[in-house]
Structures are given as structure tokens and as C-alpha cells.
Amino acid sequence: MTRNLPPSALLVLAPFLLGGCLLVRSTEHRVRLNADGSGDALLRLIDIRSDGETDSAVAGDFTLLMGSYDDSTLSSFEDGNRKVIRRQLITSGDTLTAEVAYTFTSLEAVEGLRVTEDEIAVLVDPTREIVRTNGSREPLESGGVRIVWDRDAARLHFEIRERSLPPSVLLGPFHRRVPR
């Protein structure tokens, strides 16, 4: 089971995560738009963890994560007018971060964005908080927040963090043990 992963992350990782329980503390999106609506984006899944309760369950989650970086898993992500240009796992201390850089042919291909004639927006659930953004913040009655940019914005940047996570295990130490 996957939890707390953004929809775009699920497209890249889902084929191999069905049996595991991975958590992501923060997601960061950096989107650069061209005048024709195409562009490129960087998705960062910061602080990937396992909620496995045994060493073997955590190791299994990590193995599934590593399998999700196989080339065969990219086809479903790229079906949405996207093309992955780079992907990597990065360890900083005990924190594991996944990065996926991709191009897109239209802004509608960027998961989570709501696009109208006048604006581009992202809805942030009340269980999450905005770490940083270059958009404006609009509180919602539900307790969530709406991040908004003008429709002609050239760059969109936002990082969203889970307010709390259940007990979990950092995966950075597992990644450091992978032979390079």
C-alpha cells in the first residue's frame, strides 16, 4: 500500500509498490513553462520512509522502491504527454530523496495543477502544510490552502509537507548500502 505520495509520484512508483507501505514527508515541484504551454518540471520526493514494523518489511519496501526506478515503469507516466529526462535517488544523512525531471507538452500533463483561463492553482489538504511557494496562498473554509499563480506565470514552485507521519523508518541508510 502507498500512502502520502502525490499522484505524479504514484505514476512513477506505483507498479512496484503495491505490496509496500512507503511514506513521503515532503514533495517539491519546480515547473518552468514555455509560451506554448509546454515546459519542464522537477518533482522531488523528500524523506522517503517505510512504515514496515520489521526489518524484513522495511527491506522489502526498499527493494520495491528500487524496482520502481526500472525503465519499464516509466511508460504509464510518459503516457500523459510527459517524457522523463532524468531520475535519481539521493541520500543526505539518513534522508532519502527521489528526483524525477521531465518535460511535458501541455500544462494539463502536470498532475495536481488546476488550470483555467485566468489562473493556475494547487489545492493543499489540511493534513499538509506549505513549506515554500512562489504563488499566493488563499485559505479555504475546509482548513486547506489554495496556491494560485497568474495563468501567464513562467515558473511555479511549491513544496508541501505532511503535518505528521506515523512511526516510520528512514530509508537513506538502505540506499547507502546499494553498490554503485
- Note whether residue 51 is domain-resident: yes
**pLDDT tens figures, 133-154:** 999 999 999 999 999 999 999 9
Name the band, by pLDDT with cuts 50, 70 and 90, for residue 4. very low
- Note whether residue 1 is domain-resident: no
- Note whether residue 104 is domain-resident: yes
Which residues span the domain enclosing 34?
Answer: 7-109+154-176
pLDDT value of position 31: 97
Looking at the 3D structure of the chain, how many domains does it have? 1
Name the band, by pLDDT with cuts 50, 70 and 90, for residue 81. confident
- Note whether residue 139 is domain-resident: no
- Note whether residue 115 is domain-resident: no
**pLDDT tens figures, 8-37:** 443 344 333 334 588 899 999 999 999 998
- Extract the C-alpha cell encoding 99: 528526483
